[in-house]
Amino acid sequence: MKYSFCVLLGIALVLQSCGEEEKQQNIEWTKEQSVELNKSWSEDEEYVIQKFLERRPDWKMTESGTGLRYMVYEHGEGDSARAGWFAKVEYEISLLDGTVCYSSDSTGAESFLIDRSEVESGLQEGIKYMRVGDRAKLIIPSHLAHGLLGDMDKIPPLETVIFDIHLIGLSR
């Protein structure tokens, strides 16, 4: 009898605790707050990019409307890159502090479909300013690269990346 009472008491306590709702803290977050936070991050990143470029006066960058900066430093003679074509590239991807994250030296040249693949939107935009044989530097702000999450491997969240890229071929 004593054992049955303890079992019944235990079951009653479990049922009672399951019935209680956990108190959750509701955080109100508005669209305006998100816009302000993104604006603040963007302004901070822009400042860092400007300071980086001030230390490299020989980098004569052109800025696009999206915030991408690019500079073709060696000109080729081939076709211009176009949406829907495959681009074959050699590349090095680094952070503003000089850390090299990825390089085709270790993986070999890579191909991707321009404007129709999962490659960073900043690279998709930058490649269209190039011709076969061109070598260029692209400074890609985080919103055009890997954004809030980074690449979950070597590129941290909210990080600007630099592509040193050589367009070695195009095909349809």
pLDDT of 10 above 60: no
4 pLDDT more than 70: no
Average pLDDT over residues 115-136: 94
Domain boundaries, given as residue ranges, for the chain: 62-172
CATH number for 62-172 (one of 1.10.220.10, 3.30.420.40, 3.40.50.10680, 3.10.50.40): it is 3.10.50.40
pLDDT, mean over the chain: 89
12 pLDDT more than 80: no
pLDDT (average), residues 61-90: 96
How far is it, in rounded angstroms, from Cα 11 to Cα 102? 57
pTM above 0.75, yes or no: yes
End-to-end CA distance of the chain: 83
CB 101 within 8 A of CB 44: no
Query: Among 20-29, 75-84, 101-110, 143-152, which stretch is predicted with the lowest mean pLDDT?
Result: 20-29
Long-range interactions of 156-162: CB distance < 8 A, separation 24+: 156/95, 158/41, 158/45, 159/95, 159/96, 160/45, 160/48, 160/49, 160/52, 160/95, 160/96, 161/93, 161/94, 161/95, 161/101, 161/120, 161/122, 162/93, 162/94, 162/95, 162/96, 162/137, 162/138
What integer pLDDT is reported at residue 18 of this predicted model?
Answer: 55
User: How does residue 26 score in pLDDT terms, banded at 50, 70 and 90?
Assistant: confident
Q: Which residue has the higher pLDDT, 22 or 88?
A: 88
Q: What is the pLDDT of residues 82-93, one digit of tens each?
A: 999 999 999 999
